[in-house]
Structures are given as C-alpha cells and as structure tokens.
Amino acid sequence: MNWLGSLQQLGRAVMLPTMVLPAAAILLSLASLPWAGWGLPAVGEVAEAAGHGIFYFLPYIFAVGVALGMSNQAGQAGLAALAGMAIYDQVTRHFGSGTVHPATLIGIILGVISGFTHNRFKSIKLPEVLQFFGGSRFVLLFIGLFSAVFAFLMLGIAPVLQGALERLASMEGMMGGYGLFLYGVLYRILVAFGLHHLLNNIFWFQLGTYQTADGNLVQGDLPRFFAGDPTAGYFMSGLFPIMMFALPAIALAIIHEAREDLKPKIRKTFLTAAFVCFLTGVSEQIEFAFLFAAPYLFLLHAVLSGIAMWITYALDIRHGFSYSAGFIDYVLNFHLSHHAWLLIPVGVAYGLIYYILFRWAIRTFRIPTPGREEGSVLEDWAGGIPYRAPLILEALGGKENIVQLQSCITRLRLTVHNDRLIDTGAMKALGSAGLIKLGGGNVQVVFGTYSELIREEIAKLMERDLTQVMFNAPVQGKMLPILEVPDQIFAAKLVGDGVAFIPERGELVSPVHGTVMHIYPTMHAIGISTPEGIEVLLHIGIDTSQLKGYFTALVEAGDTVEPGQLLIKFDLQALREQAASLVTPMVITNPDRVKSWSYAPFKHVKKGQASVMSVVLYDRNVGGVES
C-alpha cells in the first residue's frame, strides 16, 4: 500500500467517529429550549449534560472509531484503543499535575496504532505455554503495555506538541481571511481524493483551546464552538453558502442544460441531489458530476469556496455544525451562532453566481455533464441495489481482486490486487459518478449516499460461495428488458429468459466464456454453452430466419469462445429494411438452472461491455439433482 492509499484509509477512519456528533448537536439544541418556563428544567439540564458529555469523551470516541476504521471493524482493535486511552488518561492525570489532558490527537494516534497492531499481529503464534496471549489477544496485551510507556513519554512531549499547535493556530489567526481562503481551497481540492477529513481534523479538532466554566479544556474549532467559545466557528461558517446554495445551483444548471429527451430523468436525479446537499451538506454527488468532465471548473469551484471562507470571516460570521454545513445544522445550531443570518444573502448571491457561471461554461465548452449524453449517472435505483451488487462486484474485477472493502458516506473505498481489472465503463453504467485510482491498488468509487448499502450487499456476496455467470454486451446499442421484444415468443419467455438489444453496428460478439453448440443455417442465430452448464441463445433481429446472405459467421460449432470475441458479422442496413425488427434477444434457454437474475440499467451499451447481466445458479450435486 502506497502513502496515498494509507492516507485514504486514515481519512476514512478519522471520519468514522465524527458520526456521533450530530447526536450532540441535537441534544444541545434541545437544551436551549425554555424547559424551565415549561416547568421541566431537568429535561434541559439532562440534554445539555448529555451533549457536552459526547465532546468531553471525544478523545475516547476517536480512539475507538479510528481503530475500527483502520482494522476493518475489528472489535479487538477498538477495545484495545479504548483500554489504551484509559491508561493514558490515568497516567497523565496522576503524573501530569493537570498540564496534560487527553486530546483527539492522542485518540487518533492510539487508534492508528491499535488498528495497525491488529492487522499485523492478529494471527501471531506464540510458544505453546504463552499461546493464550497469541492471536487477537496479543493486540490487547501489546496496546496495554505500549499505552503506559506512551503516556509516560507524552508527559514531556505533550506540552511541546500543544505549544506547536497553539503557534499554528496563532499564525492562522494572524493570516486572517487569507488563511481561511487557503484552507477553503485546500479543503475543496482534497474532497476529490477523499482526504479532506485529515485536513478538517486538524482545524476542527486540534487547533485552538478554550477553557469552559467548569475548568475543562476543549480543542479545535468544532468543539470550541459548541462549548461557547466566542472566537470559534470561522472554519465552518464559509461552508454554508457552498453547501446550501452554490452546489444546489450547479445541480439546477446541469438540469437546465440537459437534452430534452433526458431532462425528466436528470431532473429527478439532480433535484434529489440538490435537496440532499442543501439539507445535509453531502456534496460529492454533484461535484463528481463535473469533476472528471471539467477539472478546470472544479479548480475554479475550489477558489470560489476559499473566497466564501474569506467573505464570512470579513463579515464576522461564526456558525458551526456537527456533521456538515447543511440546513439541518444551520437551524439546529443557530442559537450558538453570531451573525449567522448573513449567510442567507451571501448564499443567495453565491447561488446566482454559480448558476450563471456553470450554465455558461457547460454550454460554451460543451462539457459532457449528465444529461448531455447517453449513460448519464446518479440514477435513483436504491431499490435495485441487491440486484446490481453482483454486477458492481464483477466490474471491480470479482471478489478475488478485492483485498479490502470499506465505504464512507458517498464512496466505496477499496484496496484491490490489480486496479486495471476494474471496468470503468461498466462502473459508470451501473451508477458510479466517478472512479479515482490512488495507486497501490487503492481505489475510490463514488456512488453517493447509497455507498454503504452497496458495500453491505457486496460484502454479503463475497462471503458466499455462489456459482455465478456474468454476461457482456453482445452488440453495441441499447439494452432492453426481454418483455419489450416485439415478438410474443421471446417476450413471453417461451424460448428462455434474458435481455435484448437494439444493435447499432453489424457485429455480434460472445457475451460469455463457452463453446459454440450450433449455428443456424442462415447464421442469424448462435447457441453457446458455458462451463457452468448455461445454454445461451443469441438471435439477430426478429423474423430473420429466412433472410439469407446477410450474415457471416466467424466461428464454427465446437469452437471455444471468450467474452468480446467476434462471432457473426451482419448487414445492419439490409436488416433494417427487411427484418421485422432489429431487436436482438440474448436468452438463457435453460432458465430452470438460474436461481437469481441481475441486470445493469437498460440503456446504451458498448460492444463487449462487461457486467450487463448476471445470474446465480442453483448448485448441482453429483447425481445431477439441483439443490
């Protein structure tokens, strides 16, 4: 794993513990209500204590969360990190004379070490008399001993480290708006690589200290904001105009610049994406719609994001969030903000600028954003995730290619043996907004907020030992459900079950590995048997059995074929004039062997495109009886 891949995994792990912060924000927002006036003062006191309790134990939460993220959710690593934090707290509390406190940085360090130790030594074997401490139990033993030594060393290092962070915070404060501008630009650029959580952790959870009324020290812009620090919130305020207004404006520009025939589908998809971004601040679905198509526009977006940070600083706007800069956090935390009402006019102005700019750029430079070409991504297909997961897994190179599978809010984060085996075209057809290869087998695939559901379905598939057959597209053209074939024999599935295609070129290629069983005399149809016993029929056009001289077979019965291998050439123009229809069915003639079916989106496909259909077969015992 290269250094960029390691940072990817760390970024994902650091993000995991922040998922508990919305609960703190909701509790503190509830605590701000006039419970005393309603005769229920205890409710407000409990809510406030509970909300601040999350921030008080934030170092522990980070330790456990990072350890789980670094170890692929291994409970032993999380327990080791928790024990390590308890040891660190007790040692520094006893010997530090109140000068050393647990911090989120310490939690991250212990979480990383716990995760690394688990991954490295979870299968360690010790001499027989000591084997009780072998395996995953060794992780708990090692971290317990390590934490004691680490805590003792930090008695001298922590003050120096804290001083360095305070100097960095002071330098950032001296830079004023320019410093926030640099932060905003860098933050937006790192979003493309999924590494923005590392940057945010420094500014949101490390820089700046504030002592609460009860004597507790809190660090970082985010905890200080919720603790009532009047100087906190600058590193979050400038994100609200971008998330609530600018990015939804880009979605509207994409909708209005879409082709008329694709506009209804794009409107549904991107209105949803715009609402999600406005409400929750989840922005990748929109940003990845133009990141790869126009990276220079993304750089301009990064600069404008930095300027937004500078503007909110100049207007002395301080607002914060527990999750992201969406409308929910804007309302929940408004009672803690300063001049937050100004974010609305600033956001409206930003929305207008972004809308005009992006519509002009998309039209002037003919940027292929979704809706301007076939195969647009980000469709609403949450209900089909269990059926498309096998296709996504195959497009990733199969389960043998996957070393580690994780996800964050908007993307799959994978480590694979060979990233060249990933079919980027198939991934786009299956709904991916973008694919980023970081090197060393580390890959990110953006699926939006469905990413975690997709990960779960893929994980289930990887745990099963299923007999699965994947189908490539036999022609270039549009894929159709078998029910739409203009022939009742095929549409009623009397021949078999499968899909169909409207070819755009006169070439038929093999969709599977197999052996040619037979070729019809006119060469308009061909049968292939796969090693798993599936029998596949490819029938070029409807009512073409009497048309002679328009088909040329390049294989013979008994030949072994591979996916993408050319089977038959045909005169497309002549068939268009003389055949009842060009629709070309691809059916399995022994569908009783099939346990479940999966289909890619019914849209345009390329010849030989992988993962357009997948079937899982019933197992057969030795006697041939299905089970």
Which pair of tokens denotes residue 454?
């997709």
Residue 488 and residue 582: Cα distance in Å, rounded?
A: 15
CB 130 within 8 A of CB 86: no
Which pair of tokens denotes residue 135?
């395996």
CB 280 within 8 A of CB 385: no
Which pair of tokens denotes residue 373?
């070409």
Q: How far is CA 238 from the centre of its chain?
A: 24
**551-553 and 434-439 strand pairing:** unpaired
Backbone angles phi, psi at 625, to 5 degrees: -85, 130
Identify the three-state secondary structure at position 530.
coil
Closest CA relative to residue 593, chosen from 569, 573, 574, 620? 620
DSSP states of 38-85: TT-HHHHHHHHHHHHHHHHTHHHHHHHHHHHHHTTS-HHHHHHHHHHH
Instruction: Please tell me which residue in 249, 408, 416, 537 is annotated as part of the active site.
Output: 408
Identify the three-state secondary structure at position 150.
helix
Closest CA relative to residue 583, chosen from 503, 490, 519? 503
Backbone angles phi, psi at 538, to 5 degrees: -115, 120
Backbone angles phi, psi at 186, to 5 degrees: -65, -40
Closest CA relative to residue 17, chosen from 57, 52, 76? 57
Q: Which residues contact 463 (CB under 8 A, 6 or more apart)?
A: none
Which DSSP helix (H) or strand (E) runs through 493?
Answer: none
Residue 412 and residue 452: Cα distance in Å, rounded?
A: 8
Closest CA relative to residue 62, chosen from 98, 129, 128, 115? 115
Other C-beta atoms closer than 10 Å to the C-beta of 625 total: 8
Residue 63 and residue 205: Cα distance in Å, rounded?
A: 13
CB 527 within 8 A of CB 561: no
C-alpha distances in angstroms, 438 versus 195, 365, 413?
A: 11, 28, 11
Annotated active-site residue 277? The verdict is no
Residue 61 and residue 80: Cα distance in Å, rounded?
A: 13
Closest CA relative to residue 495, chosen from 474, 525, 532? 525
Residue 482 and residue 490: Cα distance in Å, rounded?
A: 7
Residue 560 and residue 413: Cα distance in Å, rounded?
A: 37
Residue written as token pair 């849209």: 603
Residue 469 and residue 461: Cα distance in Å, rounded?
A: 14
**442-446 and 434-439 strand pairing:** antiparallel
Closest CA relative to residue 193, chosen from 69, 323, 298, 113? 298
Residues with active-site annotation:
408
